[in-house]
Structure 1
Amino acid sequence: MSWTRAGNEASSNKTDWQEEEERLEPGSCQPLAIVQVPTIAELLRLPSGSRKDGAVVRVGGYRKDGDGGGKWVRYDAGSGRPDNGGTVHNPHAGEEPGRWETIHEGVADFRWFGLFGADADADDALEALMGDPAIYRIEAHSDLNFSRRHIFARSRIELDFLGHTVTTEGIELNEPDNPFGAVICFRGTATGETQTVILRDGLAELTDVLETADSAAFAVGDWWIVQAAPHPEGAAQRELDYLLQVTETIDERHVRFNYKLGWPLEAGRRIVYRKINPVVQSRVRNMRFVGVPVAPLTPSLTKPFPTWDQLGSSPVAYEFAVECDVSDIRAVGAFWPVIMRRYCTSFVTERCELINPVQRDWGGTGYLTQQIHVLYGHVRDCNTSNARHLNDFTCAAYCMVENCHGDGDDYGPFVTHGQFEHDLTYTGNSGLLSFANSGTTWGDSAKRITVRKHVASRIVAHKKISDLTLEDCYAYRKEGLGDSGTIWANADGLQMRGCTAESSVTLSQSSARSGRTNLIDGCSFDATHGGELARASRPDGGAIGFLPVSGDVTIANSSFTNVGKLIVGSIGRLTLLHTRFTGVSGGEGVLQVACHQLVVRGGGFADCGFALIGAWTGGEPGSAQVTEAGQSGQSVTIDGGAEFSGTNGAMAFMSSIGETNSVTWSLGSMTSSAAAPGMAHFAIEGGKHRYQAVGSRFKGGAFDTRPDAFAASSYMLHTACVEEGVDRSRLPAESGTVRHREGNLLLP
């Protein structure tokens, strides 16, 4: 046996302890000698005389001196703690008192347990270290394997795997349909204390003072899950469902929390409070994770065998947690989300990655991070490849996602479920976006989502999303992905600035909550033939979630290219400011317009034009509708130097089609130049029309009106215009209500 007293060689047959006892005087306060041994095995073979209460030994390594498992230990003669092989060692053959216990300052090491690789499971060591309240940091200095799924209620601890790989070979079965069955799950505990209140008065949006049944139960600093009763339309349609902290007692029935409501709650709604002791500041860092293989789903997307969804593995999950950050987890082959969160507040997820999960078609699988009922989260510098979702928010508020990137993105790296998410910001990311698009169960609703400097194959935001802001977003075409290069947006306070869609932009309206105007400014769109700039109602109800736009829309300083046939199937008032439409050479080149009012100021149409097809009325375009002017049908106003040029397949820049369509025309400062003799500056047929053109310029081409276009209750005033070589042969005969020759400058 080889062991020495620190600093001295063994020089006699007496033990170190005997020499030390002889040297010290009785009652001396001098410290006991420190013994050094090379391994844990040598520690356990120390003679009984060495096991004095408080004795300290330096262990050089776990299996051999210097292998990294070295530590200081102290003998506690009264300890009966179980031997765990790392922080507690029992030198006795039985369970008599006396243990060697590891001395530390709060930083622990898996090598203390003889773990130098993934050849032995690290589960017992993890449980032992997490169970020591004096430990605040656990380090892994080698790869590790875990075969169990762990749940901890531990706060203020950090697990740093220092870039080493975690595997899960032989891991136990998960519970069915359980994304929280991670290797490491931190979960706060419910106290069992609850309170329910029926709101006497409604709660205003952005208030932070909530009504309770008795505020005496709410102490400042306490945490509560605050949950509103669902709407009858969906089992999860709750505007309020978060983990909140009490910050002030206002009166006997009112408490201030650390959250401003994103949605109003009306009187009579029920709110349930559940008190929680959350996990606080428990963090996981620097892990490379490798999941276990899972058989593919059957072609019908059913489980191939009953326990199929219980086999896969994932690294980290949190529930009822505060300030619990995760960083630098790089995962391959995971099943459930790499980082799963529910009822979490104030957290950061950064520099994490998921590549090629083993499953992404089964609901909830293949995510980098899923976050349900979360507040004040920040996800940054993360990426995925061939995954389902990079970032999923369900009932999230005041969160930010930045500099995150997903490739192989057909499944949508960035999504929200539509459970009344609000005040979310996305900056500098890339990957398909889909907001509030998971069905009525959750509510199809979101509010105040802002996306800046984003590149995506698609941007899908056509459900009940109010006050959506898109800035510098680029939707590109991707071969093999249907509807790629498109932006679908709900026209309810929509603001788009500097955006590009290589295929098309489509507006619909599923909600009317916003007081903000719908504005598209400085954007560029390619126009897919047969696409819809604004959705129209259809006999079959149209595509789910695509409803006609009843509000007004302004498009400014923008361009639409490759216009073949583009449908504007609804919109109350469409205002085009300095916006240009360019048709496909030799194509149809027409906007089919069903909005009630069309206003064109500046900009114009090259090799294309518009056809008024009847105002949208909630049914098919073409039926009568009362306008603000008290007249039926549509109105069009063109001025501000707008320009029409070239030709198109419809052979008209401006036209009204349909025997019953009635239009009020107001043409002012505009120029129309036809590139073909038969090209009509305006073509007016049927209905009752009120036409006024003052100060316009027309060159080449022709005017085309049908004899019945200006019957009773109609009029035509065409004056102070300049015409160069225009064919006027198809204008109606002048009468008391039709005047189109006098006052004009007619040039050959």
Structure 2
Amino acid sequence: MIQLSNLEELLACKPHPMDDGQLVYVEGYYEKGDGGCKLVRWMASSNNTDNGGTIHDPRTGGSGRWETVHRGVGDYRWFGIMDATVNADDAMDAMVNDGSIHLIEAHTDLNFVRRHTYDRSDIELNFGGHTVTTEGVELNTPANPFGAVIFFQGKVSGETQILTLSADLPEQTDTLEVLDSTLFAVDDWWKVRVKNNPAGSAQRELDYLLQITEIIDGSHVRVNYKLGWSLAAGREITFMKMNPVFRSHVRNMNFVGVPVPDNGSTSEKPSENWDQLGSNPIAYEFAVACNVADITATKVFWPVVERRYCTHYVTERCRLTNPEEVIWGGTGYLTQQLNVLYGHVRDCHTSNARHLNDFTCAGYCMVENCHGDGDEHGSFVTHGQYEHDLTFVGNSGLLSFANSGTTWGDSAKRITVTKHVGSRVVAHKRITDLTLEDVHAVYKEGLVDSGTIWANADGLQMRGCTADTMLTLSQSSSRSKRSNLADGCAFGMTKNGEMARLPGVANAGFGPVSSDFVMLNCHFHNVDGNLVGSIKRLRLTNTWFVGASPEASPIQICSDEVVIHGGGFENSGIELTGTNNQSITIDGGTSFRGANADKAYLRNRNAAGIMTWILGDCDSAALDADTAHFHIQGGSNKMRAIGSRFSGGKYAVAEGAFSRDSYMLMTACIEDRVDRSSLPAESHLIKHEAGNIIIA
């Protein structure tokens, strides 16, 4: 074997044509021992283009090239790139486009000035933790988050079918109707997209890259996905055959972007090419099983990891700190994922970013152990393009689901969040079957609406959750088959804040709760004039309401039916303010104690409807003589109190409150020094003395 010191010595060699296959060991690129060492072979018949690293033309004229001998692992130093002072674009192109290389390693910092698009599968780019910069990078095309330094993109094969469904497709089916199944084969990949709903240009319940797993008959195929939403007959579906990128991974990069002029915290672009100046490292489109790991980034413009039409992937141990822009839509994300399936994002972190994790039209994905600080713009978001079956575990940061507007559909289904802490939870659009377990909204000084949970009461279930300053329930959809429930939760209240939105009040995105709600073993504190403006039937079991002070106003409830079993009210009470007929049932040892601004524990304000009072096992202990156990206004009232206990205070009943079609029955009650002077005179419909123990 011939041994030479550097590349210049190699290029000066003029092998004889008979030396075909001659091996030469080059000890360095510029000089011996500089890291650019490699083994090369003389290929006498080769006419391959010199690329400066794996193919060398000795400039002798005619055929014959020195070609690097390797085991599939490429090295930028073969190309004379020893640091970021020499741009690495040509070297990366040469190695990625060389099918014999499956791993490209960086052993120094690198600089890139071009934006590269590859359709290569089965390759890994490992940057070894070194810094990647983009000083002098070319302009991006306008509004293009896929103009990354490294963009892996599958290709369209050219075959297309457009079908109008002849029958409904139910949720959870994995069988799709096609025009002609002979064009499909097992293991083919197709982009499958339903035509948008007329209410929004991006309202598509089905829009994914899917694999064919079975040919069922001449007009049906099975795919690797169970639909998250049903599709009605007559909907149009387009099938487009794709050649995806498979198993192309990027790892271990410290990316530093380039400065972009200050946008001045506005949604208006400051210059014509402003969004073309910045840089971001990685993007994928039409990609399968392409993973990203251990990327740290700063000064990026578009997302660090951009994905569209991807499936079966992992993004892990990535970090983004201080991106160049966070106001302009789509900028400053760690990862944006559009039309994705089976994605897993884990062990990631952001500081002062727009979003850590963004899902748009995503299904069956998970985010775990990810944390965002400086998260006023929302660490974890979905756009509402019919996302479904998403799971968030052990994360921290602001949550905002399905909150990007009707263009996308304002819809999501079966999102589960567990063991989460953040400044806000915004989930008031058309989110069905949202589950929050051990989720905590914590107040943050200076952040508007921090410490709040806003949620759509459509199969909403909360367990072990807390909100420092407010729980606000609304309803914009009625899709769920399961009940609304809060169990073991604690909520702070903001004075006069709405717990459930009031009907008829204009508030974009909010509607009154028309379904029922159960609150079990919950605790509400700092209650002061709060309003349950809707909820058809409100059931409170072992739930406490504690006023902000003895001067706080009671909670106002408009629900048609209120059932209270156990728990109680301290320095608080209930004002029944509904405009329809209302009923309240109190039993199970419910307690009333302390004081409030109304000087009454129970009070009705609507004299137009029928008010039904059912009091059973409850204990009402008035703080002073002016506090009323119940204050019944005029109108039509029907009251039954059996087995209740009242001590101190008084009963307050307005004149005419028990007129025609009204009745009052109080019996088996214990009254201890209660002023009962305002009770109406007894009659065949009014009975409140017999059977009671009355202690004067």
How does the TM-score come out when normalised to structure 2? 0.99
Determine the structure 2 residue equivalent to 1:704. Answer: 652
- Give the aligned CA root-mean-square deviation in angstroms: 1.0
Find out whether 1:68 has 2:35 as its counterpart: yes
Separation of aligned partners in 2, 1:300 and 1:86 = 46
Among residues 643, 662, 667, which one is paired with 1:714 in the alignment? Answer: 662
SS at match of 1:309: helix
Report the AA paired with residue 54 of structure 1: G
SS at match of 2:232: coil
SS at match of 1:710: coil
Provide structure 1 residue ranges, at least 5 long, that are not aligned to the other structure: 1-33, 615-621, 625-632
Determine the structure 1 residue equivalent to 2:133. Answer: 167
Determine the structure 1 residue equivalent to 2:527. Answer: 563
Separation of aligned partners in 1, 2:533 and 2:113 = 58
Find out whether 1:602 has 2:566 as its counterpart: yes
SS at match of 2:530: strand
Separation of aligned partners in 2, 1:659 and 1:48 = 107
Determine the structure 1 residue equivalent to 2:204. Answer: 238
SS at match of 1:448: strand
SS at match of 1:565: coil
Determine the structure 2 residue equivalent to 1:678. Answer: 626
SS at match of 2:498: strand
Q: 1:300 Cα deviation (Å)?
A: 4.8
Q: 1:732 Cα deviation (Å)?
A: 1.1
Determine the structure 2 residue equivalent to 1:733. Answer: 681
Separation of aligned partners in 2, 1:63 and 1:266 = 67
Determine the structure 1 residue equivalent to 2:388. Answer: 422
Find out whether 1:552 has 2:519 as its counterpart: no
Q: 1:742 Cα deviation (Å)?
A: 1.1
Determine the structure 1 residue equivalent to 2:588. Answer: 640
Report the AA paired with residue 55 of structure 1: Q
Find out whether 1:505 has 2:471 as its counterpart: yes
Separation of aligned partners in 1, 2:181 and 2:653 = 75
Is the 1:110–1:125 contact (alpha carbons within 8 Å) kept by the matching residues of 2?
yes
SS at match of 2:8: helix
Is the 1:51–1:75 contact (alpha carbons within 8 Å) kept by the matching residues of 2?
no
Separation of aligned partners in 2, 1:660 and 1:405 = 52
SS at match of 1:454: strand
Separation of aligned partners in 2, 1:598 and 1:743 = 27
Separation of aligned partners in 2, 1:281 and 1:55 = 35
Determine the structure 1 residue equivalent to 2:317. Answer: 351
Q: 1:117 Cα deviation (Å)?
A: 0.6
Among residues 48, 51, 63, which one is paired with 1:81 in the alignment? Answer: 48
1:511-548 CA distances to partner (integer Å, 9 max, x unpaired)? 0000000010000111111111111123xx43211100
**Which is greater in Rg?**
1
Moved more, 344-353 or 39-48: 39-48
Q: 1:299 Cα deviation (Å)?
A: 5.9
Is the 1:436–1:446 contact (alpha carbons within 8 Å) kept by the matching residues of 2?
yes
Among residues 206, 213, 219, which one is paired with 1:247 in the alignment? Answer: 213
Is the 2:5–2:27 contact (alpha carbons within 8 Å) kept by the matching residues of 1?
yes
Separation of aligned partners in 1, 2:466 and 2:136 = 49
Determine the structure 1 residue equivalent to 2:20. Answer: 53
Separation of aligned partners in 2, 1:569 and 1:709 = 24
1:399-454 CA distances to partner (integer Å, 9 max, x unpaired)? 00000000001000100000000000000000000000000000000000000000
Determine the structure 1 residue equivalent to 2:279. Answer: 313
Separation of aligned partners in 1, 2:26 and 2:118 = 30
SS at match of 1:472: strand
| Match runs of 1:736-747 below 5 Å | 736-747=684-695
Is the 2:363–2:389 contact (alpha carbons within 8 Å) kept by the matching residues of 1?
yes
Separation of aligned partners in 2, 1:150 and 1:180 = 10
Aligned length: 696
Separation of aligned partners in 2, 1:261 and 1:537 = 34
Is the 1:381–1:402 contact (alpha carbons within 8 Å) kept by the matching residues of 2?
yes
SS at match of 1:340: strand
Report the AA paired with residue 573 of structure 1: R
Determine the structure 1 residue equivalent to 2:292. Answer: 326
Q: 1:38 Cα deviation (Å)?
A: 1.2
Separation of aligned partners in 1, 2:464 and 2:508 = 28
Determine the structure 2 residue equivalent to 1:263. Answer: 229
Separation of aligned partners in 2, 1:189 and 1:295 = 35
How does the TM-score come out when normalised to structure 1? 0.92
Report the AA paired with residue 572 of structure 1: K
Taking only the aligned residue pairs, the percentage that are identical comes to 59
Q: 1:687 Cα deviation (Å)?
A: 1.7
SS at match of 1:442: coil
1:101-141 CA distances to partner (integer Å, 9 max, x unpaired)? 00011100000001111001000001100110010000000
SS at match of 2:132: strand
Q: 1:93 Cα deviation (Å)?
A: 4.4
Find out whether 1:405 has 2:371 as its counterpart: yes
